[in-house]
Each structure stands twice: as C-alpha cells, then as structure tokens.
Structure 1
Amino acid sequence: MLDLERAQRMSLTTQVEVRLKNALIIGSLKPGSRLVTKDLAEQLGTSITPVREALLRLVSSGALVATPAQAFLVPEISEERFREINLIRKNLEGLAVEKALEKMTAEDVIKLRKLWEDFAQAKQSGEVEQTLVANRIFRFELYKLAQMPTL
C-alpha cells in the first residue's frame, strides 16, 4: 500500500495514517467497510495506539466515521458530494498542471508519459485496483512536479 522507505522519517501514527489514506484512495477500503483497531494493528504489525490515533485523525478530516463499538467505518459518499469533490479536484489539478509545466524537464515529460501509459494499460486490463493505483501514481507525480507542497 505504501512505499515505507520514504516514510521512515515519519512517526508511526503518520505512517499508519498514510497507509490508510492510500488504501482509501485506491479503493482497497470500500464504502461501508468496518475497520477494527485491533485487526488493523495486527495487519500492519504495530500496536493499537498508533492505529487508533491514525483512525481518529481520519475521522476528524471526514475520511472515516467513528462508531460506538470501537470500530470505524468507511463512509458511503453521496453522488452530490462526489461531484463536488470531483469539481474541486479537477480545478486543483489544472493548476497543478500549469505549475508543473513551468518546471518540467524533458526527463520529467518522459517519466510522466511512461506513468500515463502504465495507467492506460491498467485501465485497459479491467483491473480496477491496479488502475486506481496507476492513476494515483501518475497524479501524485504530477503534483510533485508542480512543487506545491500543500497540494
């Protein structure tokens, strides 16, 4: 789910949070999924505390919902909210492309083209999770090239 080499400098809680965010982004955690702190800790090979803290961070950002039974749910998303998120994302990505174009080298263009081809191939294969992973890799490389850390 996550390239842990890059994450070594992060706190354990942040590493868990990033892994969970990535799982949400690529669709490994489906809407309606119930996340149990103990089970996640076992799967991630860590103690319960960083998992609980990461889950609570995701609840505070609206990515998860807490339940009274010490579990967390991946929320269902309405079509209206999906459209709103999509509109915002498309506008921000347009800005990212503009900024990235100002800074891209020929090598960057080659790398992006390869990532786009990987995405197109994954999409053509019909493998949904593989397609979402390839899409995420392409988009986040573009964001990185924009050199806009908040984005």
Structure 2
Amino acid sequence: MAAASTTETNKEIVTRWWSEFWGELNPDVVDELAAEDIRWYYPLVGEVRGREEVKKRIIGYKERFPEGGFELTDELIAEGDRVVALWEGGGTHTGRSWELPIGSLPEASGEKVQYTGTTVFTVQDGNITEEYGQADYLEAMQQLGLIELQSQ
C-alpha cells in the first residue's frame, strides 16, 4: 500500500510543479519542490544542475514569452520514483531576444509558438531530482520562423 501512496504523492508534487513552474512561470516553487542538485534537461536549451540554474531557465523563458505558459494535456503516469507528463504550451515572443543554436529571434519579434512535449520527472524523498523533457522542437522552430521545411 505504501507504493501507491508514494506514487500518488509524487504525482501531486509534479502537478504542483507543473502548475506553478510551467503554468505560472514562477521560479519560487523551485526552492520548495526541487532537490538542491536537481538535473534539468531539454535538448534545445541543454542541461543545467542546481536550483539557481533551473530558476534562471524559467526566468529567461518568462522574459522572452511574458504571457506564455504550459499545461498538462493528460493524466500523469507514475511508477516508482518516475512521473511522466504530456503537455502543451508556448506563447508570443514579446520580450527580449533569444539566441538558439539554430538561429535567433530579435527582441519582441511577435512570433507565436505552440507545441507539445513529454517530460519525465524523478521524485525522491518529496523533491524533484530530475526533469528530462522532449518537445516538438521542429514544429516550434518552424513556427518561430527559424527554419523552413522544404515542400515535396
């Protein structure tokens, strides 16, 4: 019975993280729910470790997409210390410029982006120790005008 309880608690932690960190773009929740040495990784923007670096990532996103945000699109899946989330989100680039490995957006470009992804969280002792995500970056970069697909 303890395993189900732990699984449900882990899902509650991830739900709150998602709502506050990604939904509200609020970095303050990091100190409460993340392990000090949290590993955070998304291929487009790379890997960081530690609470302060994770906060910088969400602050940077909010500076570029001030009204942006992300929401869960399905029930969380959990087993053991892992929780999987399916999500969708984006926003309009009305903030500071954004340098990416495949191009850049000038300040307040007005480009809109909406994309989906999957994130796997590891939760141990009530703290998120890892957030590892994959997103439809091809779609996002196309929407932002950073790449153009060739027509067939």
Q: 1 or 2, which has the higher strand percentage?
A: 2
Structure with max Cα Rg: 1
Using structure 2 for the length normalisation, give the TM-score. 0.24
